[in-house]
Structure 1
Amino acid sequence: MSIRESSATALVRARGLGIFCLNPERKQGEMALIRDGRHSLAIRVAKPVFVDGSGRDAVQYREIIAYQSIDAMNVTIEIEGVEPSIEGYEIYAPGDFDRLGEDVDENDFRWLVNIDGAEMHGRRLAKAESASGRSRPPVSRLFIRNALFYARTINENLFFEKVRRDETGAAVERTPFGHVAETVAAKIEAARVVLRIAVGAETHTHVLPRVAGSPYRIEIENMDPDQETPVSDMPDYYNFLAAADGVSFDLEPLKTDETSGGPIGKLTSCHAIVSDAGSIDEFLP
């Protein structure tokens, strides 16, 4: 991997239905985790443990914190590095980026789909109004401070094409898009990492001290457990964001075998997107 993860105090991996943005005023990364009733929210933390392995020390990971299938909608997750090497945030995006090119760095942040970026709308989208006929599901909140953000989990079994739809929802254009990253990743190097999880009126605080060479793993998943779930989550995101001209984009997997009669789909896949909103505040109730 291009990112040297072993030097971190904690590695954060947020995967599933959510809109990620960078907040320059608060100096943090923010993610609106969309709670639509289909996707299930879980939080897990694994601790590195040294064990005797073939005459030398080996590291295994033991789960020490687990919040499974959180039903409550009013959830706030805060992750912060204390005495960090990075104040605020940085983005890993080395050099040029070509989604359809070769030898592109697998951790490049731009593998994540930016709905406002040049590959999609090319301009900042507005907040979707309820008049559009779509209901806005509730949102849980994730805040990450003092971290290097990058991409992770590129599903090479899924090659997408971009479908442009007009204001009626009809497909008017199809173009190759490529692979996408499913996971927003963050590397935190610090003396310790503080994890706060507020579920309703209860707040739980966990302090993760640095273990040199063996980072903690913090995983946040907002996934649909149904194996028959649609592979693209783009329609869900237009519950929150909309273009003035009514145009929207979908991502559909190309068929691997035309004789099979079906797309690559029916795999467990759920990709977060990036927005240039500057804050997830507008996605909150």
Structure 2
Amino acid sequence: MLKKIGHIKNPLTVIAIFAGLAEISGTVILPLLETGVQNTYVWFLMLFPTFLVAVFFFVLYKKHHVLYAPTDYRDDESFTRLFQSAPIGETLRKRGVELDDVGGDAVAGEIDVHNGPNPENGREARADPNDGVISAADTLKNSFRGNGLLAEELVTAKLTKEFRIVFDKNLAVKGHPKLVFDAVATLRDKAIVVETRFTRNGNVPEERLLPHFDRVQEFSSTLPVSLQEKVEFIFAIVTDATEPSKFAQVKRLVERTTAIAANYSFKTSVRLFQMGELEREFSVR
């Protein structure tokens, strides 16, 4: 008979056993108490289950992943179930935070779509000879925002080709819609999270780098301990800098970012990509 009783496999079983024992023991003890104490004890027996249920649903809503045991994540889709397509509003908010307020990093590369290319950016916009306006493709490649979006696309394509796995773009953690990542690949034994940062001269302050890592840390904290070590983070820094001085500054940004990564528990790989090489590899013109 005892062989049919399974082992306790997850926190839900512990909660159920605890609640059941508390109510049974409370009912048994009630007749043994003095009359003056019984009134208070009855209130406890009524309010305690209500409190327990309220706490349970609060945890279920805020951090439901902690209610599962590691064995509940043993199939191939264990990490896949943790993500969903990010709400468009959160995706735009995240991009706005990353591409706005970049200080001097964008000044030399912005293009005025109304008045033509900025002569300081060093990249001539190719106009349509038929109407004399700047094409959408040229605007995308010459503006800082456009380069940021293009960098995300090219890095995702590069990593897909390199790892030979599918990276889904703009995913959010289920139950945490503000935890949005540029790309995520889920495998049997790990999840690879990707964040991309475009820069022209490496002028990205530390306070703008930390949110990328903090989001991954927050995502990792929603997982069981056994799965936290299976989260890998790739931080891709993309630049179109060709001048030796600016490229050296971007390399120093990579070094600073690597030092920041050392303060976090998850495995991080800081990668440097040159926009020109990515464009040639994927025939972007």
TM-score, normalisation: structure 2: 0.27
TM-score (norm 1): 0.27
Q: Which has the higher contact order (CA 8 A, sep 6+)?
A: 1
Q: Which has the higher helix share?
A: 2
Higher strand share: 1
Q: Which of structures 1 and 2 has the bigger CA Rg?
A: 2
